Amino acid sequence: MSIDDEPVTTLEDLRGDLAGRYKWTPTGGASVDTAIVAADMAALDRDGYVIWENLLGADECEQIREVVGPWLGPTGRNSFEGRRTQRIYSVLSRTRACDRLVDHPRVLSVLDRLLMPNYLLSALQAINIQPGESAQLPHHDDGFYPIPRPRAPLAAATIWAIDDFTADNGATVLFPGSHRWGKRRPEPDDPAIPVVMPAGSCVFFVGTLWHGGGANTSAHARLAVTAQYCQPWLRPMEAFTLSVPRDIARTLSDDIKRMLGYSVHPPFVGAVDGLHPLRLLDQP
Ligand SMILES: O=C(O)CCC(=O)C(=O)O
- Higher-pLDDT residue of 44 and 26 is 44
> What is the residue-averaged pLDDT of the chain?
93
Surface-to-core class of residue 280, CB atoms within 10 Å of its CB (0-12 exposed, 13-18 middle, 19+ buried): middle
Atom of ligand 1 nearest to the CA of 127: 1
Q: So what's the pLDDT on residue 11?
A: 54
Q: Which residue from 128, 174, 226, 230 has its CB within 8 A of the most atoms of ligand 1, so it is best to mutate? A: 226
91 close to ligand 1 (CB < 6 Angstrom):
no
Q: So what's the pLDDT on residue 187?
A: 96
195 close to ligand 1 (CB < 6 Angstrom):
no
224 close to ligand 1 (CB < 6 Angstrom):
yes
Q: What is the DSSP string of 58-78?
A: HHHHHHHHHHHGGG--SB-SS
200-228 pLDDT, tens digit per residue, is 999 999 999 999 999 999 999 999 999 99
For the segment 133-144, the average pLDDT, to the nearest whole number, is 96
Answer whether residue 22 shows pLDDT above 70: no
- Higher-pLDDT residue of 16 and 111 is 111
- What does pTM read for this prediction? 0.93
Look at 6-10, 98-102, 247-251 and tell me which has the smallest mean pLDDT: 6-10
- Higher-pLDDT residue of 270 and 20 is 270
Q: How far is the CA of 17 from the centre of ligand 1 (A)?
A: 38
Atom of ligand 1 nearest to the CA of 125: 9
Q: Given strand 193-194, what is the order of strands in its sheet?
A: 193-194, 173-174, 211-212
